[in-house]
Amino acid sequence: MKKWMIALGAVLFLVVLTACQSDPLAEIEDGRSKAPEGFIYGEVLEINDRDLQVEVEEAVTGYEFEPGDVIKVQTHNIDLSVYESIRPEDYIEIHYNGEAKGESQKQVSADTIIIWEK
Domain residue spans of the chain: 36-118
**pTM of this structure:** 0.67
Residues 6+ apart with CB under 8 A from 25: 33, 34, 35
Average pLDDT, the chain: 80
pLDDT at 69 over 70: yes
CATH class of 36-118: mainly beta
Residues 6+ apart with CB under 8 A from 11: none
Mean pLDDT of 35-49: 86
CA distance 73 to 85: 15
Mean pLDDT of 56-63: 91
